Chains A and B, each alone.
Chain A
């Protein structure tokens, strides 16, 4: 039977290292996703994942279980990302592909039937979303990430970001509105670029 996070935390606090390893394997991927989308660099995100779990291990005794374990981990991760950006004195960077490598195309299709055009469009959209997100103010970006990619409730986000629930909704609304404008512009310019490329090659 699968043990809950709370049960694993209790065992780990009592000294059972295997329980902590189970918690790591359960939450490693979501934490990496959050760190990657915050920092934009794979290797930095991996470092943050390691450090986040080490901090969690050291702080297990201080974790009182008032919040969910995952919420506590998210908070540690966001703090680490913030520290990282402050220490490096640079803004988050998005790893954008400079071009499309035909060798990679063969291996990276979402489904066997996805056409090259669809794959290129999907990659362009991914890059456009990443760019638009990184241009948002930190507080709007964090609210959207926690909501869209980690499924936290408004109240959980408010707890994470130490702000009132109404502020979370306002940040989400403002962030989504800005993203909407930017992505519309991006899609328009991409379509125009593709059309021009097609016309010049034919």
Chain B
């Protein structure tokens, strides 16, 4: 490789051959190192590439510069990296208590169908073998008079049930909220449901973070144990080699070789 010259230096500018007619002046082309780098790495558009190639045909200094930098790029490929074995111990998801979680969907569907069929079969058997009990059940149900029920009765019943459910829900939300804030403020009887939800979400998020931290800690622990195991194994190997006459020779040979 020849000595490096820098485009744009006075000596370089003086050597240029005039390249008028390409739309670029020589000075501009030789002084713009960025263009050479873009060309070198193939990151310039078509017009730029054409202009640079035209310039390189006329300018031996820039041509030599691009060739030299390309040769350096080849040399850089020689930089070896040691062989690498994975140091990562894969994360393992904690086991969940739900035994059905890992079952495929078709198995769940089959199980549901089985349950349904057994229920239907049982009902049919009741009708076939104990018709009197079935009739009695029908009779007890028919004792309730239905003729006098009006839409207004149904609406009031629905409203009362809704009111009861709402009251129970608010009570539960208030209980959760008062539990959350017990250490910082006295429980209030009527905490808005939105605030309680936010509080529960925050608590869930913190639990999730805590779980992630536990996973990381477990992982780190495993790593350390693994490293200690590797070192112990290496030491054992060396000690075993020291005990063996052949091993000693190998070690001596290796030392002398260096």
Contacts and interface: CB of A to CB of B under 8 A. Distances in A.
Interface of A: 17-18, 20-21, 24-25, 28-29, 32-33, 36-37, 42, 46, 49-50, 53-54, 57-58, 98-99, 101-103, 122-123, 125-126, 129-130, 133, 144, 147-149, 153-154, 166, 169-170, 172-173, 176-177, 179-181, 183-184, 187
B37 A25 contact: no
A166 B86 CA distance: 37
A129 B74 CA distance: 11
Contacts of B3: 184
B20 interface: no
A180 B78 contact: no
A184 B1 contact: yes
Contacts of A37: 79, 81
Interface of B: 1, 3-4, 6, 33-34, 36-38, 41, 43, 68-69, 71-73, 75-76, 78-82, 84, 86-88, 90-93, 212, 215-216, 219-220, 223, 253-254, 257-258
A50 B33 contact: no
B202 to A, nearest CB: 15
Given A17-B215, A33-B84, A172-B37, 10 more contacts: A17-B91, A50-B223, A99-B258, A154-B41, A169-B37, A169-B38, A170-B34, A173-B34, A180-B4, A184-B1
A177 B88 contact: no
A147 B82 contact: no
B76 A32 contact: no
A130 B33 CA distance: 25
A169 B93 contact: no
Nearest to B36: A173
Nearest to B68: A180
Nearest to A102: B257
A189 to B, nearest CB: 14
A54 B216 contact: yes
B181 to A, nearest CB: 26
A17 B95 CA distance: 12
14 contacts: A17-B91, A17-B93, A50-B88, A54-B216, A54-B219, A54-B220, A98-B258, A102-B257, A103-B253, A122-B80, A148-B76, A170-B34, A176-B73, A180-B71
A158 to B, nearest CB: 12
Contacts of A20: 91
B196 to A, nearest CB: 24
B189 to A, nearest CB: 36
B52 to A, nearest CB: 14
A188 B87 CA distance: 40
A32 B73 contact: no
A120 to B, nearest CB: 12
Nearest to B33: A173
Contact of A133 (B38, B71, B79): B79
Contacts of B38: 154, 169
Contacts of A24: 88, 90
A37 B69 CA distance: 21
B75 A173 contact: no
Contact of B258 (A17, A49, A101, A169): A101
Contacts of A46: 87
Given A21-B90, A126-B78, A179 B72 contact: yes
Name, among B36, B75, B92, the residue most crowded by chain A CB atoms within 10 Å (CB to CB): B75
A42 B78 contact: no
B90 A183 contact: no
Nearest to A94: B79
Given A28-B86, A148-B76, A177-B69, A36 B81 contact: yes
A46 B93 CA distance: 24
A25 B93 contact: no
Contact of A177 (B6, B71, B253, B257): B6
